[in-house]
Amino acid sequence: MNKSFKSLMAIFVLISLIGLTAMQARAQGSPIVAEILPSQGTATTIILVRFTTTNASVGNVQTADIFWDDTTVALNQQGVLGADGSYNYNLTVPTEPPLSNVGNHTIRVDSSVFNYGPVSFNFTFTITEFVPSPEYTALNATYNSLLTNYTNLLANYTQLLINFNETSTAYANLLSQANQLNLSYNTLLANYNSLVANYNSLVANYNSQETNYNSLHATFNALLTNYTSLQNSFQSLDSNYNGLTQYYNALNTSYNALNISYTSLTANFDTARGQLALSTNINFILIASTIILAAITIYLSTKNARASPRVSMKTLRTNLHFFDDSSCVTISERSSF
C-alpha cells in the first residue's frame, strides 16, 4: 500500500512539473505572441491560451474562434484582459472520444486583429492519461457506491460472525448451568412436597381461626355502625346549633340597625314638619298682602280715570310679586285708555 502511494505521488509530481512547461507560437509575420500553459495534462487540467502584442499600433486577440482537432469549441469567445495587457482564454479537455484519446491534439485559434487583419494560431496539447466520458464517470460512481456498500456489508457480516461465536459460547455455558439447575430443582421439589403437607395442616388451623375472627369482626362492625350513627347525629346537632346562633346574631344586628334608623327618621320628620308649617304661613301672608296691594292699585287707577276723562294714561304698569318658598314671579300688564 505504501509503495503504491509513493508511486502515485511520484507520477503526480512528474505530471505537475511537465504541466508547468509552456509552448509559444507566433503566426506567420504576426506581431502577436501566443502561448499555451500547460502543453500537456489530464482530464482535470485547465488550459490557458494567452496572447500578447509586440506592436503598440496593432490590436490583440480580443475575441476568437477556438477549435479542438477541427471540432468547434467556441465561436466569437470574449477573452479576459490580464494585468499585463494580454488576453487569456481558459479551455478544458473534452470528455468525448476521440477528442479525449491519449496522445497529441491540435488546438486552433482564429481571430481578426485590429489594424492587422485575420490571424490563426495552432497549438499542440498532449493528453497523458485516459479521460473518462460522462458515461464512464457515472458507472465509476455507481461502482464506488456498490463497493462502499459491499465493504459495509462485509464489516457487518464479520461483526455478526463474532457475535454468533460469542452467543454460541454463552449458550454452552447456559446449558451446563441448566443441567445443574435441574438437579437442584429435583431436590427442591422433594422439599416442596414436604412443605405442602405442612401447609395443608396449617390451612386447616387457619380456617378454624378465620371462623372465630369472622364472628368477632361482625360484632365489631355492628358496634362501629352504632358509633358512627351517634357521631353523625352529634355533628348534625352541633351544626344546627351553630347555624341558629349565627341567625340570632344577624337578627339582633338588623334590629339594632332598624331601631337607629327609626329614631333618625322620627327626628327628621319632626324637623321637616316644623319647617313646612313655617313656610306655609309665610306664603299665605305674602299672597294675602299681594292681593290687597293689587286691589288698591286697581281701585286708584279706576278713580283717576273717571275724574279726568280727557287725560289718557299711556301706560299703566302693575307689578305683582308672587312669592313662594323657592321663586319670584313678576307679571307686567299694559293698558291704554
pLDDT 10s digit of each residue in the chain, 337 long? 444 444 544 444 344 444 434 555 555 457 899 999 999 998 888 999 999 998 888 999 999 999 999 999 999 999 999 999 999 999 998 888 888 889 999 999 999 999 899 999 999 999 998 777 677 778 778 988 999 999 999 999 999 999 999 999 999 999 999 999 999 999 999 999 999 999 999 999 999 999 999 999 999 999 999 999 999 989 999 999 999 999 899 999 999 999 998 998 988 888 888 888 888 889 889 999 899 999 999 988 888 777 655 444 444 455 444 444 444 443 344 444 3
Cα separation, 103 vs 180, whole angstroms: 80
Q: Is 71 domain-assigned?
A: yes
Q: How many CA atoms lie within 13 A of 166 on its CB side?
A: 6
Q: H/E element holding 205?
A: helix 134-307
Residue 35 inside a domain? The answer is yes
C-alpha atoms less than 13 angstroms from C-alpha of 41 in its C-beta half-sphere: 19
Residue 79 lies in a domain: yes
Residue 105: which domain range? Answer: 2-139
pLDDT digits (tens, 9 = 90+) for 236-262: 999 999 999 998 999 999 999 999 989
Residue 38 lies in a domain: yes
CA distance 73 to 100: 13
Establish if 17 belongs to a structural domain: yes
DSSP code, position 76: E
Q: Which residue, 294, 316, 293, is CA-closest to 305?
A: 316
pLDDT, tens digit, 9 for 90 and up, residues 280-293: 889 889 999 899 99
Question: Does 175 reside within a domain?
Answer: no
Number of domains comprising the chain: 1
Amino acid letter, residue 225? T
Q: What is the CATH number of the domain that holds 10?
A: 2.60.40.10
Asked if residue 105 is part of any domain, the answer here is yes
Residue 119 lies in a domain: yes
CA dist., res. 5 & res. 12, Å (int): 11
